[in-house]
């Protein structure tokens, strides 16, 4: 295994706020970064050593990018797997295209998770209107119809109730390959972020509770207020997934906790995650420094926290209250440099720390 030393260049696919925070972390560790994305005004382009603005299938641009970097990672999973396969011919890509093939397709993802003996909500593959009718009969209502690919923050989803016109739901989803997922009763949503190195070593961050507003993450509470054995089970399942998918990098495993304490996996994200932003202030090593360590072949650092934390997203107009936020000395403000404020757009986040013996409350 070749360690990529400080002074070398980390290539990052994607130009959003996660790429921005990865580039900042890499710079603090002595690395250069080269961001490959589509938006010249993006958050990540503002802080990178070098940038490339090009389409994912621009082979000439990808060749130049690969020649300039020592390893490639990614900041979001909605990248064509063909892009990763092309880059893998000349430069290490971590995680690789096989991880993306699973995690960017909801049907493959849930099937993979179930194959490991890890439970999920009931689901069925939907390729046609006839499939959807059969799935509704099998799973029942309420249920949610989700596109198999490229949905996030509530996009590409249609809720189905007993009174829903099935034809209308199929049209609303754009008649795209989808899954129908049954609703399960749950007490709270949690996530576990796992780092896995080139040598297979693992470091996991404590399970955190996630609360959403309009299908967008609003608040993360670290740690989640769950029983110790439930937290251990959630962590064990997340680590099992990271090993079996042969991850190198970071993966966030989103889960439901049932009223009986059962843990059901919801979704996987093989990159830094919104629910891990609190680690910047509250942990020995942030999720962003940890992924740089993992993809560079460095030993993973401790994921232990030295404080409890509450992280709140600044969505849309929330960011306009930055002066009020910075007036509080216990608040840590992060703004992403997005020029245009839009409803539902993540503009930044703010984190507040608490003593280890105090459970954060919103």
Binding region for ATP: 106, 146, 151-157, 181-184, 189, 212, 266-267
Q: Residues annotated as binding site?
A: 106, 146, 151-157, 181-184, 189, 212, 266-267
Residue 67 parent element (H or E): helix 59-68
> How far is residue 212's CA from residue 328's CA, in Å, rounded to a whole number?
24
Tokens linked to 87: 């880059």
Tokens linked to 188: 């709270």
The angle that helices 17-28 and 287-296 make with each other, rounded to 10 degrees, is: 70
> How far is residue 305's CA from residue 86's CA, in Å, rounded to a whole number?
38
Q: Outline where DSSP puts E strands in the chain.
A: 9-13, 32-37, 50-53, 71-74, 123-126, 143-147, 157-160, 178-182, 188-196, 202-204, 208-213, 216-222, 249-257, 263-269, 308-315, 331-335, 346-354
Tokens linked to 31: 């690395």
Question: Contact at 8 Å (CB) between 226 and 186?
Answer: no
Tokens linked to 68: 């300039």
* Dihedral sign, Cα of residue 37, residue 40, residue 42, residue 44: positive
Question: Contact at 8 Å (CB) between 304 and 284?
Answer: yes
């Amino acid at each position: 295994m070749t360690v990529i030393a400080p002074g070398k260049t980390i290539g990052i696919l994607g130009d959003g706020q996660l790429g921005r925070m990865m580039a900042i972390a890499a710079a603090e560790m002595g690395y250069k970064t080269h961001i490959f994305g589509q938006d010249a005004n993006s958050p990540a382009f503002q802080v990178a050593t070098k940038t490339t603005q090009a389409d994912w299938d621009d082979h000439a641009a990808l060749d130049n990018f690969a020649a300039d970097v020592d390893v490639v990672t990614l900041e979001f999973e909605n990248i064509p797997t063909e892009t990763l396969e092309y880059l893998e011919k000349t430069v290490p890509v971590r995680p690789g295209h096989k991880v993306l093939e699973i995690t960017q397709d909801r049907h493959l993802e849930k099937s993979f998770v179930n194959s490991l003996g890890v439970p999920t909500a009931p689901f069925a593959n939907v390729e046609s209107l006839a499939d959807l009718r059969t799935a509704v009969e099998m799973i029942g209502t309420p249920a949610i119809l989700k596109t198999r690919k490229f949905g996030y923050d509530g996009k590409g989803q249609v809720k189905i109730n007993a009174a829903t016109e099935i034809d209308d739901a199929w049209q609303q989803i754009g008649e795209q390959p989808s899954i129908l997922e049954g609703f399960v009763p749950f007490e709270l949503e949690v996530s576990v972020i796992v780092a896995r190195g080139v040598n297979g070593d693992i470091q996991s961050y404590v399970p955190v509770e996630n609360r959403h507003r309009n299908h967008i993450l609003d608040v993360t509470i670290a740690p989640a207020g769950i029983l110790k054995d439930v937290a251990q089970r959630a962590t064990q399942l997340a680590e099992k997934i990271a090993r079996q998918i042969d991850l190198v990098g970071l993966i966030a495993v989103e889960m439901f906790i049932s009223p009986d304490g059962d843990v059901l996996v919801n979704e996987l994200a093989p990159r830094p995650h919104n629910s891990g932003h609190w680690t910047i202030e509250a942990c020995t090593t942030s999720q962003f420094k940890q992924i740089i360590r993992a993809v560079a072949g460095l030993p993973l650092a401790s994921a232990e926290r030295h404080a409890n934390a509450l992280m709140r997203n600044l969505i849309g107009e929330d960011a306009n209250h930055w002066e009020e936020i910075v007036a509080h000395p216990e608040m840590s403000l992060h703004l992403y440099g997005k020029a245009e404020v839009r409803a539902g757009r993540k503009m930044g986040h703010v984190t507040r720390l608490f003593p280890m013996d105090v459970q954060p409350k919103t």
